[in-house]
Amino acid sequence: MNETAVIRTYGLSKTYDGVEALKPLDLTVAANSIFGFLGPNGAGKTTTMKLLLGLIRPTSGSATIFGMDSVRKSPDIRARIGYLPQEPRFYEHHTVWETLDFTLRFFFKGPEQAIRQRIEEMLELVGLEGKAERTVKTLSGGEQQRLGIAQAQVNYPDLLILDEPAASLDPLGRRDVLEVLSRLRKHTTVFYSTHILDDVQKVSDTVAILNHGVLAAYGPIETLLAGSSGVVYTVTLKGSTGITRARVASLPWVRDLQASEREGQSTWTVAVSDEATAEQQLLRTILADTGLVVTSFGRKRYELEEVFTNIVEGGAHGGK
């Protein structure tokens, strides 16, 4: 695959009966990235995925996948995609094997031996090898999810679009899915939505957060986690902090200092305007007070959950 950007959207939007499910969206998903697509329920994630797959038509704007228009070239695009719906629904009377065989034959017509081997590989990958002859209706929710993951990958897709791939899975199943996603990075681009922010933080390299149909944050995960409120340090101290706190707060390169007390320790969150000066002088200034013990000092790193909550609840954050 030579494309540097696998997905590009240009003001892509969707309105249902006058309600804007997705406001004009401009997004680029780079090749071989694991792109986490986040947002609360009803944010427009599934709508975006369905637009990319040609299952629904955009109200305005357009998208290209592998450089092809998502509406006019939809079947050609789908020949290179694997898709896992949010709530996978397969033909209930099909067995697990038949479901994978049916999926595979949209792409390949033979040879039979290779088809059988590929199905066996997929069953092994998702841990369903002992359930090949079970009908779909007898599978648990987690097993159906695993089958969904298998059928999405069965055609060696260049792009995987996964809508909540870890939903309905137990912690071990989730871990397996994350491992599979990481392994696929070499060959495939993964565009996936999830509510499990911890998973996103573990495997994604780029994240977009959608809220009420609007792209609220978008960028490399490191940028997002660094935050948009400038450089912030956190310091934990023991001792009488009043005088030093006032001194630090009055320094010209300190923008803000918030302090909290817990279990005899003070935690300061210090926002600075001059990173280089802060790096040299902040800790030194604090330690000048010999009555204080610094138990931890470091640059604040946001958790994705914090970033997400800030955005969804109305705060601003992120790398967009």
Tell me the closest approach of the beta carbon of residue 205 to another protein, in angstroms: 19
State which of residues 157, 173, 227, 319 lies at the interface with another protein (CB under 8 A): 157
Q: Which stretch binds another protein (CB under 8 A): 97-105, 209-217, 243-251, 262-270?
A: 97-105
| Minimal distance, residue 244 CB to another protein, in Å | 58
Nearest distance in Å: CB 316, another protein? 34
Among 90, 218, 233, 302, binds another protein (CB under 8 A): 90
Q: Is 87 in the site for another protein (CB under 8 A)?
A: yes
Report if residue 65 touches another protein, rule: CB under 8 A: no
SS3 257: strand
- For residue 146, the minimal CB distance to another protein (Å) is 15
Candidate residues 109, 261, 262, 284; the one interacting with another protein per rule CB under 8 A: 109
Candidates 272, 261, 204; CA nearest to 236 is 261
Candidates 36, 88, 165, 319; binder of another protein (CB under 8 A) is 88
Can residue 107 be called a binding residue for another protein (CB under 8 A)?
Answer: yes
Instruction: Check binding of 33 to another protein (CB under 8 A).
Output: no
> What angle (nearest 5°) sits at the alpha carbon of residue 275, between those of residues 272 and 278?
70
Cα(167)–Cα(87) distance, integer angstroms: 9
Query: What φ, ψ does residue 215 adopt, rounded to 5°?
Result: -75, 110
In three-state secondary structure terms, 199 is: helix
240 binds another protein per the rule CB under 8 A:
no
Q: Which stretch binds another protein (CB under 8 A): 19-27, 49-57, 191-199, 211-219?
A: 49-57
Strand order in the sheet with 81-84: 81-84, 159-163, 189-193, 34-38, 206-211, 214-220
Amino acid identity for residue 209 in this structure: I
Question: For residues 256 and 114, what is the distance between their CA atoms, to the nearest angstrom?
Answer: 64
Report yes or no: 17 and 53 within 8 Å, Cβ to Cβ.
no
State how beta strands 189-193 and 206-211 pair. Answer: unpaired
- Distance from C-alpha of 197 to C-alpha of 221, rounded to nearest angstrom: 12
Using the rule CB under 8 A, is 83 a contact of another protein? yes
Positions that interact with another protein (CB under 8 A): 1, 50, 53-57, 75-76, 78-81, 83, 85, 87-91, 93, 102-103, 105-111, 114-115, 118, 155-158, 187-188
